[in-house]
Structure 1
Amino acid sequence: MSQAIRLLIVDDSALMRKHMRQIFEAEGDFTLAFARNGREALDQARSFEPDVVTLDVNMPELDGISCLEQLMERGAAARVVMVSSLTEEGAAVTLRALELGAVDFVPKPDGTVSLSIDRIRPMLLSKVRAAARAKPRRVVGLRARVSARRRELEARGTIRPPAGAALSGAVLVGVSTGGPRTLEEILPVLPADYPYPVVVAQHMPSTFTGVFARRMDGVCALEVREVDGPMPLATGGIYIGRGDADVVLERRLGRIIVNSLPADESLWHPSADRLVVSAMQVMPPSQLTGVLLTGMGHDGAAAMAELRQRGGRTIAESQDSAVVFGMPAELIRRGGAELVLPAERVGTQLQAWARRGR
């Protein structure tokens, strides 16, 4: 039997702690500890030495973000999963937590906890288990690079390239757990004159993707937009698929558009597989580049392996940098990865291919 996962549950609600205790005790492979606020959590982190911490955002005495900052400053080994409300404000706070070093997040149950907790039970269990296996990421260097990039853009002005040039290619990105921080290492590297649009299927709720797109737009030379309906696919743009739906490429009246469609029966949304399949239906595979990054499961692996077989280019994130080496590992296993690279080298590789005309 594998070693039990040491889990610290931090929440100021006694009812929430009770229900989470019941969920994890029923599994039989968790050793639990509890804290009512961030200060207690810091004390427990020292004495209990958890593998994973579930951390509520809004708590008295010391809130979740402040607690997370102190955990990261101490170099704590625990992986943190935030418990966040599905509001725009909650999305902004959660994205900040992911930037600081949290591995993932789960939505906080709305309404009556006892009635809604079962809805998030499978997600909670899978994300905590994945966090226990996740590789912590160094965030100090990343934050410094992003800050430097923001200062650079502010100093020279964000000059966007003119849209509307004929499309000669597109980059398709699939990413899940650990994605926001990983994308912050890749997308800001692409220059304003990068010749291909980039379409991103990041597994994320709909209340988060708009906030995330606006955050990325502040640090990218290319314009970053959330895809919440049909819009022309154009050079000079990065398109983030709206959460809880699927992002696809379509051809209408002789033009290629990027669109948001109701989610299909897939397990993950926006679906990377559906994005890549749709792209191969409207553009020659030889003009497409697939990039599969950190995440649980196998979304994107089958479609990108087919893309590679049909003449497209593909990159899988390496185990060295992946927070969760699930999706890229599956692409590698299927023989569909032309290159296997750490996240910090993906952006420069995309530029190199663009300079050589793919």
Structure 2
Amino acid sequence: MRALLSKAVGGPDTLELTELPDPTAGPGQVVVVVKACAINYPDVLIIEDKYQFKPPRPFAPGGEIAGLVESVGEGVTGWGVGDRIMGTIGNGGLAERIAIDPSRMFRVPEGRSFAEGASLVLTYGTTIHALLDRGHLKDGQTLLVLGAAGGVGLAAIELGKAFGARVVAAVSSEEKAKAAKRAGADDTIVYARAPFDKDQSKALAERFKAAVGKNGADVIYDPVGGDYAEPALRSIAWEGRYLVVGFPAGIPKLPLNLTLLKSCDVCGVFWGAFAARDPAANQAHIDHLFRLWEQDRISPRVTETFPLERGGDAIAKMAARGAIGKLVVEM
């Protein structure tokens, strides 16, 4: 089988397309023929050894897949050859086959593509955990979403609307603003690219405040970080919740006096650890997502696909913050 491997620390250009032996299903495992692998920001970080987890090399990036069960190992029940599956695996998805623990798998519903299936669980799982468990988002509240045209950003717009919020989407281009509107955003802000000086930061804060309204944003969903964080925090409501999701623009330093003045919370969002620590609560969220998906209230937006040999290009586009919606590598 072919796999796109990280053999040394570096960017997407260091990945090597390599022939490997086909995996076999050990006890408690299934072998999946990978049909699609979604690209997420952790794929940018993991090959540079900047992610929370550092798998031993060589390894294939790609933590979100969909495909077909090819073989079933001893002790596995409930799954059979030919079953259409989707799931999160941490890494290893940029390969034609992979042996995985079936506890990480879910069935791809009839009528849904493998590309869609590969794009749901991580993105929407992170976001539903963020909005409900960490942000306590309620009907009628205001949600400000930064980086709103990326995979998690669009998921936040859709889920925010599903939960009854008014959603303000902040993006870096008019094209991305249109994508946010199509996903259901009530209002959009197009901000400039950082870095910002003091005056630019203050001006962006005023734009955020104007967009969210005089009471401020009850919940701020931030998968961007960097110089965008402080202006957003200045627009938060009294007792608002600021959700720390990711840092493609850099790790910010927030002035903590703002949290005192607004009596607000800054909340970290680490979905992978949550799912491992409380699998029952995570399964309840996944079930909720599947119901919303069936009702067409959420829908992964796959905007570009790549062949396996160009998987590095997909990761490079993600790193450059050029993606709208989901980028997917198809085998």
**TM-score normalised by the chain length of structure 1:** 0.32
**Larger helix share, 1 or 2:** 1
* Higher relative contact order (Cα pairs below 8 Å, separated by 6+ residues): 2
TM-score (norm: length of structure 2): 0.34
